[in-house]
Homo-oligomer: A and B are copies of this chain.
Amino acid sequence: MPDHSGQDVAVAIEAGRLAANCARMMEKAGMPETGARITADSLVDADLRGTHSHGVIQLPGYLDRLMAGGINPRPTLRAVADTPSLAILDGDGGMGQVVSHQAMTLAISKGKQTGAGFVGVRNSEHFGACSYWSAMAVAADMIGICSTNGVSCMPPFGGITGTIGNNPIAIAAPAGREYPVIIDIATSVVAQGKMRVAAARGEKIPRDWAITLDGEPTDDPLEGLKGLVLPVAGYKGFGLAVAFEVLTAVLTGAPFAKQVPLDPGPAEPLRIGHFFQAIDIAPLIPVPEFKSRMDELVRQIKESKLAKGVRRIYAPGEIEEETKAIRLRSGIPLAHPVIYDLKSVASRLGVTWQ
């Protein structure tokens, strides 16, 4: 489900124009044109899909890190391991989106050669919405899978010490007439963005979302934001977070668990890890047959009888794709404070907002 910003919305902006403005700000902060465009496109895609928490709202923070030295604007990526189906890329502390674009491109290329490509990444940064990278495989008629580790914002099941990221997983597969099926879920009950929304609205939060710095359950979003988020579904969400920490960091040589700071300063590189996987469909089943089977799966899901109070069943990713289709036509409704922040940063950088 989209993580809407929940803030007052009044400005609709055309996606291409928003991306161009964002890209020019990153170029001004030292990034080459291609990297700036890749990053801007992926941020704007999140806003198009309604997942504003991973959209352009992130850009001011990225720019702070670019200018303070936390992110390397001109990284030299290199493969530190390479087999027909596997590779590890060192991201040289570059923007996570630039590193991820290259890593998923490599996973797709390896997958087209051998059937399945798996690329781990180390020495990278926040990569935005997980779903964006898995969806790159869909465009190549492949199944895409990816994850990342991150700041140690979650305790183990039964614990109260920040030990592991709320590491997300995204899996994407193409369909025919239906939208592609795309899941993108964090392993915490909610992302911290939802607590920020509750705090902004002066609302309390459910007591299973977060604990305070002292390890106490809380219904106060401000205390929760200072503390830790809790794993979704108890040991199940925690177990998945651990498994993704193994694939993204223990295996890739990235810092893992408490080695990743909980609250890094803008000059402090995160050096986190990701993994990207692309499985080719054509060697296993004719692509049109696969897509028609996907359509049938989606139809069966949507044809379910409805539970009380439910008006419609959505296939995974359908809400986001539908939102994107509408917003590509009518623009992205962005909250006033988000646009205001972007324009202020642009002005400080000496970039004219167009």
Q: A residues near B, CB below 8 A?
A: 1, 81, 83-86, 88, 111, 114-118, 120, 143, 155-161, 163-164, 169, 171, 173, 181, 183, 185, 189, 211, 215, 232-233, 235-240, 242-243, 245-247, 250-253, 256-258, 279-281, 283-285, 290, 293-294, 296-297, 300-308, 310, 312-316
A185 vs B116: C-alpha distance when bound (angstroms): 24
Q: Is the CB of B85 within 8 A of A297?
A: no
Specify the chain B residue showing the minimal Cβ separation from A1: B235
- Closest residue on chain B to residue A88 by CB atoms: B284
Bound together, the chains give a CA A250 to CA B61 distance in angstroms of 41
A182 to chain B, nearest CB (A): 9
- Between A156, A257, A279, the greatest number of chain B beta carbons within 10 A of the residue's beta carbon is seen for A156
Task: Provide the residues of chain B in CB contact with A233, threshold 8 Å.
Answer: 189, 232-233, 236-237
Q: Does A250 lie within 8 Å of B293, measured CB to CB? A: yes
Cβ contact of A283, chosen from B83, B293, B294, B312, cutoff 8 A: B83
Decide: A81 near B283, CB < 8 A? Known: A242-B301, A246-B181, A297-B256.
Answer: yes
10 additional contacts (CB under 8 A) given A143-B247, A246-B297, A256-B293: A86-B115, A115-B118, A159-B313, A181-B246, A183-B243, A185-B235, A233-B233, A235-B316, A247-B279, A252-B285
Residues of B contacting A185 with CB < 8 Å?
A: 235-236, 239-240
Residues of the B chain whose Cβ atoms lie less than 8 Å from the Cβ of A84:
84-85, 114-115
Copies of the chain in the assembly: 2
From known contacts A183-B242, A185-B240, A315-B242, infer whether A304 and B156 are also in contact, taking CB-CB under 8 Å: yes
**Do A246 and B81 form a contact, CB below 8 Å, given A116-B116, A158-B313, A290-B251?**
no
Residues of chain B contacted by A164 (CB below 8 angstroms): 301
Q: Beyond A118-B115, A233-B233, A257-B297, is A242–B305 a contact (Cβ under 8 Å)?
A: no
Chain B proximity of A319: nearest CB distance (Å):
10
A83 touches B115 (CB 8 A): yes
Residue of B nearest to A211 (CB): B307
The answer on a CB contact under 8 Å between B315 and A86 is no
Some 25 contacts from A to B, beta carbons below 8 A apart, are A85-B117, A86-B284, A115-B118, A116-B116, A143-B251, A156-B315, A158-B304, A159-B304, A159-B310, A163-B301, A163-B304, A169-B240, A181-B246, A183-B243, A185-B236, A215-B308, A233-B233, A233-B236, A242-B301, A243-B316, A246-B297, A251-B279, A252-B284, A253-B285, A257-B300
Query: A173 touching B290 by the CB < 8 A rule?
Result: no
Report the bound CA distance from A350 to B348 in whole Å: 86
> Given the complex, which residues of B lie within 8 Å of A312, measured CB to CB?
158
A118 vs B280: C-alpha distance in the bound complex, in angstroms?
A: 11
Cβ contact of A306, chosen from B160, B211, B236, cutoff 8 A: B160
A240 and B290 form a contact (CB under 8 A): no
A124 to chain B, nearest CB (A): 16
User: Max chain B CB contacts within 10 Å: which of A171, A243, A256?
Assistant: A243
B246 touches A143 (CB 8 A): yes
> Given A85-B115, A238-B316, A160–B307 Cβ distance below 8 Å?
yes
- Contact, CB under 8 Å: A232 / B242: no
List B contacts of A251 (CB < 8 A). Answer: 143, 279, 281, 284-285, 290
Contacts of A116 in B (CB 8 A): 85-86, 116-118
